[in-house]
Structure 1
Amino acid sequence: MRILAVERSGLYYGSAVNLRNWIEHYVQAQNASVDVLLGESGEIEGHIKEAGANVTLIGLPGFLNRYGKKNIKGINGMFNALALFFYNFKCFFSVRKDYDVLVVNNYRSAVYYLLFLILIKLFSKSKIVIRFQISQTPVKIAFSLVKSIADKIIVHGTEGYCKREFGEDFEALDKVLCIPNPVNTEKYKFNEIKAQQIRRDLQIPKGAFVFLSVCYIEPRKGVIQLVESFKRANLKNCYLVHIGDHGSHQEYYDKVLASAGPNTLFLGKKSNVQDYYSCADVFVLNSAYEGMPYVIVEAMSSSLPIISTFSGSNVEVVTKDVGALIEYNDDAALIETLSYYAKHPDLCEKMGQKARDRVAALYSERVYFETLAEVY
């Protein structure tokens, strides 16, 4: 089987991590040949090469990879549309036309390569699969653009999330498949040795209670609200550890640092994040919106109970026996929940065990790839 995957961005998180994992699976388990058409150089390139894919870099004009409405307004929109038109033709004439499957990795890539997809649909026999990851209005716009082009649309999240986001379109189309994001349960599991080592390295006292948050530091992740709520809770012998980069959000990051109390630790980006789950007692993600965040199932697989918001697939994934969901921007509820968990460590341990059992049954890579078998 020959597969061509298309990815606009060079960043490595979210859908890019999933892309790398399924490339490795299909190269090793299915003996597939996988090529990746990449629109931007970056960290993702090394990861997908490591997974066994061949990479063709056809760089987008730099301004096309910037976020913001200014790219589609006025004269900027005209120039960008023209540049994108020629870029799509360049991609079409630069790749083979005999792939069995063409996979578009996320909704932004689907929009950027829309003309390329139309040309493939017209002049190739490749099966077109488009993957969606995140919950926001642009996803719905992209969905409406590509639903007639794609042979299969994969929405990464729970079925309840899919129905809430796409409504009648989801239920009416046989070509839509809803699959929760998976986790490698062997990689993400509690490790006592790593737990003790990391606590020593971070100089966290023995017996301290640790909340862990793993996310990109940007406004929609609600990091300021989390660190302020933790400080206001004034919990004795408790620590909040945050892992994640801030990228271009320097001003927001400065505000986060200014809001944090003395027992809040910012560790930046970590390549061995799976080890840090072991040092924690509870995982916290305070996002305004999500699709289905990997960090939730990674933390659950690592035997951690969850505190998160009513967003995306969290509603189905985080049941009452494995964690608590609160409304975004409800600081009082967040403080109350942090305080309750810190005062009930035995309950947290029991909930963490149930969280791992739930992940193994519903969100493991084994379950994920068994479901994907009908697509590729």
Structure 2
Amino acid sequence: MTPTRLTTRALHVAAAATLLCASLSARAGEVEVLHYWTSGGEAKAASALKATLQGKGHSWKDFAVAGGGGDSAMTVLKSRVVSGNAPAAAQIKGPSIQEWGNEGVLANLDDVAKANNWDALLPKVVSDVMKHKGHYVAVPVNVHRVNWLWANPEVLKKANAKMPTNWDEFFVTAEALKKAGVIPVAHGGQNWQDFTTFESVALGVGGADFYRKALVQLDAGSLKGATMQKVLTTFRKVKGYTDKNAPGRDWNLATAMVIRGEAGMQLMGDWAKGEFIAAGKAPGKDFLCAAAPGTANAFTFNIDSFAMFKIKNTANLQAQKDMAAAIMSPEFQETFNLNKGSIPARLNMDMAKFDDCAKLSSKDFVATAKSNTLVPSIAHGMAVSSAAEGAIKDVVSQFWNTDSMTPEQAMDRLVAAAKTK
């Protein structure tokens, strides 16, 4: 080959490479993500999504706002959207997705959902949360089960007590633990923890249909009926087995009491499992997990999700769609949830790498999706508007903390709180 031909060929190769780079950079976009995953396991989980997007050639602009409940993040998000500078994606969940959808600022993800068969991969009760007026606008990253009971098997053994399966058995076990000189129930007296316990009692005493009518549909008859009276009486009885130092205690410190054997049981969502694992404890051996009493055939869910906002840049739009598709991929769902302690939102996941508590959770998630006993957690922002949730939460904590308040008075207040807009 002559030098002239070599030079000509080299120029062609260089030109092709330049065109390829140009086309790649044209396709590559940036996705700005507002989230509040700043703790250890959460940050690891977020970095898994970042790596997935970078693998597709896109860049990730992290917009992390500290604060576990996400209140600070929502304040920042509102100011960004109002100023016409919304991020591509924001961590939003439950009815809040509908509120943003009503503002007309969310992106339509139907093309991504159809291409990846989301309707078949998600239970309808979950996909409905991710849609606004029938169109996908958000994507779920995980499922937390809220109705869990955690226990220390050594402490139960010493008290000659067993893991309870209903509320009658729960109080027998609690009494045995009390006689053995152990705090029966580890609890943190904060209103969201009171509410978490309350919803598990409501589900266990009344069943999924009652729970749905009372705490999702906010039906006045259900909020003020005989079943709710029994729920409140049972709820107050639980308090009698907590310790005097419970007020103000953080949930993880309550979990630590069970880990150390100072307390026998705790009613808390599956994020508690992360505390046991971090302490080097093994499920089934060092700690026990079971559905909260009376709730083995039901499941209250708390789902983290990303809502996608309308953006104009074409490359960034593709990055946004790639992010939505990546979140629902089996690879991401597995990696994220192994780090977070939750379970995948997809129904057809291989759970081989997950621990026994997660496997039980996944099995029950699939089963309750089929039996229509999969219900949103009111205590964790999945069931009703934030205003109604806050008002009902206040009533529940007032009842927990005021011995003189009767169940009848509490029911009247619940009915009034449910009307809060």
TM surpasses 0.5: no
- TM-score in terms of structure 2 length: 0.33
Greater share of strand = 1
- TM-score in terms of structure 1 length: 0.36
Greater share of helix = 2
Larger Rg: 2
